[in-house]
Structure 1
Amino acid sequence: MSGGDFAVYDTSRPFTWAMSGDWRLRVYTWPRESIAVGAAELQQLTATPVRTSAGVGFFLSPMLDRLTQSAAGMSGEGAVRLACEVAELTVTAAGEASGRWRAVERGGERLREIQAFIEAHLTEPALTHDRIAQEFFISPRTLHRLFAQGGYTVSAWIKNRRLEASRRALGSPASRNLTINEIGSRFGFSTPAYFSREFTARYGVSPRRYRLESGWTRPD
């Protein structure tokens, strides 16, 4: 890699760096559970140089370079939002550089249709494997196989999308009259404790703290 280029790697897997001459390195880390990418897919994204000269890297590389200067003093809610957006952009950049997305486009049309269906029905309690399989006239085994190609399980995908929908709702003025428990329940989290635990594990901040720092201070 040359100056400004970057690559994605997974610290839970063995890796080595080889560097020579003068160099300076910035490292940005995210909790693994906060990245909605399966293990098999992540393997294909790692160790691929993302060039600063073209594509997503052209604007993302300068953004990463300036983050250490501009992120100081941000609210917790703002920092979580920014971290999530930068993570999405970084994964997208790595996918483009590795050719992963083009491969998915050739073989994943049905999977994208199913994921869009899930996104539109996140608030439905009956959003189960069988319900989704019936909607698309496929067997539950076929449904699991489609998601397994990207290293996901159906349940994990649904939970991750519900967590993201909950995060957006907690920071939205449109949901300011809903309690935290109501938001968690709306998106399928059966108990307040379960919602709080899963939200905190993914975003590093509790739902209550996230909402307070977003400016919507309705008592819950």
Structure 2
Amino acid sequence: MADDVGVSLRTLHRALSAGGSTFALLLMRERMAVAQRMLHAPSHRHLTVAEIGRRAGFLDPSHFARACRQWCGRTPAQERCAPTQAFASPH
């Protein structure tokens, strides 16, 4: 990612830190946004929760469930049935 924007890895880390973020936090936020969109999309109703987690970048269904509870306050199955709303970062 640093190469893509033409800066050193350390410069990218400093810039993210100055903005109060980290690469890991941004990555998790994006993965959870993708998962949340998929959980609410009628076109993805045929997919299992585990498959949605895998497609969003979670290798382990239990990790996806823990992350979803942390970010959304609900399990993935509960989130799938809940009205659509943006989640707040737990940090």
Alignment TM-score, normalising by the size of structure 1: 0.36
- Asked whether the 8 Å contact 2:54–2:60 carries over to 1, the reply is yes
The residue number in structure 1 matching 2:34 is: 165
Give me the whole-angstrom Cα distance separating, in 2, the residues matched to 1:213 and 1:146: 36
Matched residues, percent identical? 35
1:147 is paired with a residue of what secondary structure? helix
The residue number in structure 2 matching 1:144 is: 13
1:202 is paired with a residue of what secondary structure? helix
Shift of 1:174: 2.1
The residue number in structure 1 matching 2:60 is: 191
Greater share of helix = 2
Q: Deviations over 1:88-111 (max 9, x none)?
A: xxxxxxxxxxxxxxxxxxxxxxxx
Give me the whole-angstrom Cα distance separating, in 1, the residues matched to 2:9 and 2:47: 35
Give me the whole-angstrom Cα distance separating, in 2, the residues matched to 1:213 and 1:167: 11
Give me the whole-angstrom Cα distance separating, in 1, the residues matched to 2:14 and 2:43: 37
Give me the whole-angstrom Cα distance separating, in 2, the residues matched to 1:151 and 1:188: 23
Q: Which amino acid aligns with 2:76?
A: P
- Off by >3 Å, runs of 4+ in structure 1: none
Shift of 1:210: 1.6
The residue number in structure 2 matching 1:207 is: 76
Q: Which runs of 5+ in 2 are unaligned?
A: 84-91
Q: Which amino acid aligns with 2:16?
A: F
Give me the whole-angstrom Cα distance separating, in 1, the residues matched to 2:73 and 2:31: 16
Q: Which amino acid aligns with 1:162?
A: R
* Structure ID, larger Rg: 1
The residue number in structure 2 matching 1:174 is: 43
Alignment TM-score, normalising by the size of structure 2: 0.81
Give me the whole-angstrom Cα distance separating, in 2, the residues matched to 1:176 and 1:191: 20
Aligned residues: 83
CA-based RMSD: 1.4
Task: For 1:20-39, list aligned pairs within 5 A.
Answer: none
